Chains A and B, each alone.
Chain A
């Protein structure tokens, strides 16, 4: 299916492209799009994995956010129903919209079907998962798979809310593709049997606490279900993921999931997001790097630079301790040993 969309790509774009290089670019953009699509799907699936572990703890706090976004989504529901059919067609025909289009992070909502196909998989998945949860609420028996979707919902919504607002605007549009990408993942659940019970637990907790929510969601079921792609649907866009591909995802899930959780924690704690010396963003290693007792934090590059010359902490002007210099050499273990040194010295003083 990948090859299909790629080979098709240059043909619709031919009117746009005046020379061969442009065709090439379109081709590349189609590939790029496919990559993004895959990445998004992985990300989204990883949320499911995280959810299966942490749904109980996070369920409550995420609920409010979820509530909010649900309202937003509901408001856009009508528009979405209208848009849906349009986007099916445009997406299946033209995976090869102009390169710029596919490169736009989350550009104009109404601009193009292919756009939504690439970029909004993640956000739209939250939407489709909502529909899943609602249906799970009212007809629990038959649609157990969709409870998994609900399990991932809380966590995903938290992430989605943290994203830029324009993501919100675009949420409804890609729904058709997503519900289709969802359907393979539903069947995928059978392989995942171990995670299912926990997920249903999470859902049970949700439904118990928020009956109003599910009640509100009920009316949407019909609209969403009619739009969902089935794996054997004739109009199913070629660029959509197939089941075989998704099977490989769970392996990578853990990694993504763990990355996601500390991120949200950091934002809650209000840790500095950029180095006060060079103003570059702190990466994951930097943000767990505590070079000085005074609490002044900086990125590893600037720290190294200061050690080469002045050797004093910019925050308190005291020389960096020597053992910390050594620990700094091994970046991975560095932050940890520094922290240990810190607590030790605090104990010694008190």
Chain B
């Protein structure tokens, strides 16, 4: 393996073959890692269930621990009070070194959530840290609901309306459809 890398470094011509070869060892540890990813997700599930945080919950889908369904409730005294949102969390094979993909399954009228439910949150992208877990993700999303980042909105209509909290509340309640399950 070391010789292959050295070869690649010295002769750019062989680069394609070299990268193809070097990709394998990157994948190989990932397969081994899946055991530790499982362990981590299981531990997180336990911790989340034991923590008893109010307003957030999550649980793996039937037979796939890499895919979770979570719910968050709007924080009291925000325009989202009394609403509940269902999310899907999909964990990559190299979790926690890369963040899970989080989407709103319930429509959410929010400056940082687009109409498809995609969420723009720095800690789930460039500011991800492997020290985060499902619990901190859900708590972060919960707090972002009440404190959106207006400067880079996905939903510009919501961003514009944010300054008028009373009207915003009306729109939230009008558009809100409680999660079915």
Contact = CB atoms under 8 A, between A and B. Distances in A.
B39 A309 contact: no
A312 B130 CA distance: 10
A326 interface: no
Contacts of B97: 277, 305-306, 309-310
Interface string B108-132: 0000000000000000000101111
Contacts of A305: 97
Contact of B131 (A276, A280, A309): A276
Contact of B36 (A278, A306, A310, A315): A278
Contacts of A278: 36, 39-40
A273 B36 CA distance: 16
B43 A314 contact: no
Interface in A273-330: 276-280, 296, 302, 305-306, 309-310, 312, 314-315, 317
B153 interface: no
B146 interface: no
Taking chain A's interface residues, is the majority helix, strand, or loop, or is none over half, making it mixed?
loop
Contact of B129 (A279, A280, A309, A314): A314
B131 A277 contact: yes
Interface string B128-167: 0111100000000000000000000000000000000000
A317 B131 CA distance: 10
A314 B97 CA distance: 9
B96 interface: yes
B96 A277 contact: yes
A317 B130 contact: no
B130 A277 contact: yes
Instruction: Classify chain A's interface size.
Output: 10 to 19
B130 to A, nearest CB: 5
B130 A302 contact: yes
Contacts of A276: 131
A309 to B, nearest CB: 6
Given A306-B97, A309-B97, A310-B97, A279 B131 contact: no
Interface in B81-112: 96-97
A279 B127 contact: no
A232 to B, nearest CB: 53
Contacts of B127: 317
Nearest to A274: B43
Contact of A315 (B43, B96, B129): B129
Contacts of A302: 130
Contacts of B43: 279
Given A305-B97, A306-B97, A309-B97, A279 B40 contact: yes
Contacts of B130: 277, 302, 306, 314
Which residue of B40, B127, B131, B132 has the most chain A CB atoms within 10 A of its CB atom? B131
Contacts of B40: 277-279
A350 B40 CA distance: 39
A304 to B, nearest CB: 10
B36 to A, nearest CB: 5
A314 B39 contact: no
B131 A314 contact: yes
Given A277-B96, A309-B97, A315 B131 contact: yes
Nearest to B42: A279
Which residue of A279, A309, A317 has the most chain B CB atoms within 10 A of its CB atom? A279
Contacts of A312: 129
Interface string A1-44: 00000000000000000000000000000000000000000000
Contacts of A296: 131
A301 to B, nearest CB: 9
Contacts of B132: 314
Nearest to A302: B130
A286 to B, nearest CB: 14
Interface string A247-283: 0000000000000000000000000000011111000
A197 B89 CA distance: 66
Which residue of B36, B40, B129, B132 has the most chain A CB atoms within 10 A of its CB atom? B129
A290 to B, nearest CB: 16
Contacts of A280: 36, 39
B39 A317 contact: no
Interface in A64-120: none
Nearest to B26: A308
Given A276-B131, A277-B40, 5 more contacts: A277-B96, A279-B36, A279-B40, A279-B43, A314-B129
27 contacts: A276-B131, A277-B40, A277-B96, A277-B97, A277-B130, A277-B131, A278-B36, A278-B39, A278-B40, A279-B36, A279-B39, A279-B40, A279-B43, A280-B36, A280-B39, A296-B131, A302-B130, A306-B130, A309-B97, A310-B97, A312-B129, A314-B129, A314-B132, A315-B129, A315-B131, A317-B127, A317-B129
Closest 3 CB pairs of A and B: A314-B131, A314-B129, A314-B130
